[in-house]
Structure 1
Amino acid sequence: MRKTEGREPADRREGVGGRDETVEERADRLWGEQLQELRVAQTGVQILFGFLLTVVFQQRFTTLSSADTAIYTVTVVLGAATVGVLIGPVSFHRLSTGHRMKPQTVAWASRLTLLGLVLLLCTMASALLLVLRVAGNNALAVWLVALMVLWFVLCWFVLPAFARHTATAERRLRDEERSGDK
């Protein structure tokens, strides 16, 4: 770590993995990482939402039951909410640029992205339910959607939380070993 006259500068800190960066440098790095994540999520959500918007113009739409029409409506609204939340960080960044609030922007963008993932999970579940109901067996559709929701929760939330917990425990153990060696 860089030192100035035997002291660490107030705006520098050692981050995870021993990075030597200022709060602003860390915010810049995290913002770049956030943008990469958002590009992946936004593209998929926009394609899904575009597809959903075309469904209402198909001939078969008029033959849907009132339950399926309601599911479709909920799915479109969820899709629109998801698009809005996942594009939110772009607007937040644009409106806050030049006001020296990059760390806060990164924090808000992270919250919006997490909310966007939850809304995307709901949108996917609703879309799957509609498609599987229209394709045939309603009881099977509910079970398949439930399994897919569990799969998404596992992949998107449980595995990252487990990895984070494991890394934190390993870091704590290393820190305890280092402090015991002194």
Structure 2
Amino acid sequence: MSSGTTGPGGPSGARSGRQESPEERADRRWVDLLQEIRVAQTGSQVLFGFLLSVVFMPRFAQLGDFDRNLYVVTVVLGALATGSLAAPVSYHRLFAGRRLKPQLVDATARLVGVGMVLLALTIGSALLLLLRVATGSAEAAWIAGAVMAWFAVCWLLVPLFHLRRHNGRGRQGHGPAD
């Protein structure tokens, strides 16, 4: 397009960012989302696999009721996180060929967000269990809480700070996984 022509978002000279159709945008967002999922999904699957093996360790029989219940909660959270982070595969299979890529990306981006929260909770509860068993200290809860606070800072507060700081500069996003 020449600088005087008009595109979907107004005069092309006034737009910043990509010149892409809705389909191209959905394809790009899908590829971006898949890259993000690869990192989170691998971590959740490895952690979940280790959690499944814990019950077969000799020391597991020595855990008190609180720690056993914490283990059960941790395993369930890990299963939920893994399910949420693997769900985009099912969505893709069901949506494939139906010309619903933007809807696919929006729905799976929300599931990935839920999966990240569940993954953080899984890591926090696994850390609490590990620290309680390893140290027997009441301070384990404070340490696990501090780690969870760090996750909230790194995964939520810092990105929101940068988003707010840069809001209005350049092209604004249109939703999850933009």
Code of the residue aligned with 1:42 in structure 2: it is Q
Moved over 4 A (4+): none
SS in 2 for 1:21: coil
**Aligned partners of 1:71, 1:59: CA distance in 2, in Å?**
17
**Aligned partners of 2:169, 2:81: CA distance in 1, in Å?**
35
SS in 2 for 1:90: helix
Pairing 1:1-182 to 2, within 5 Å after superposition: 2=1, 7-8=6-7, 17-171=16-170
Q: Report the CA distance between 1:138 and its aligned residue.
A: 3.3
Over the matched positions of the two proteins, sequence identity in percent amounts to 49
Structure 2 residue ranges without an equivalent (≥5): 172-178
Q: Deviations over 1:41-94 (max 9, x none)?
A: 010100000000000000010000010000000000000000000001111111
**Aligned partners of 1:167, 1:108: CA distance in 2, in Å?**
26
Pick the structure with more helix per residue. 1
Structure 1 residue ranges without an equivalent (≥5): 173-182
Question: Aligned-residue CA RMSD in angstroms?
Answer: 2.2
Code of the residue aligned with 2:145 in structure 1: it is A
SS in 1 for 2:138: helix
SS in 1 for 2:7: coil
Q: Report the CA distance between 1:137 and its aligned residue.
A: 3.5
SS in 2 for 1:84: helix
Code of the residue aligned with 1:165 in structure 2: it is R
Larger relative contact order (CA 8 Å, sep ≥ 6):
2
Change in Cα spacing, 1:168 to 1:156, as seen in structure 2 (3 Å) is: same
**Aligned partners of 1:109, 1:94: CA distance in 2, in Å?**
12
Q: Is the 8 A contact 2:16 2:170 kept in 1?
A: no
TM-score by length of 1: 0.85
**Aligned partners of 1:67, 1:9: CA distance in 2, in Å?**
58
Q: Report the CA distance between 1:8 and its aligned residue.
A: 3.2
**Aligned partners of 1:48, 1:18: CA distance in 2, in Å?**
38
Change in Cα spacing, 1:66 to 1:24, as seen in structure 2 (3 Å) is: same
Code of the residue aligned with 1:84 in structure 2: it is G
SS in 1 for 2:97: coil
Q: Report the CA distance between 1:169 and its aligned residue.
A: 3.8
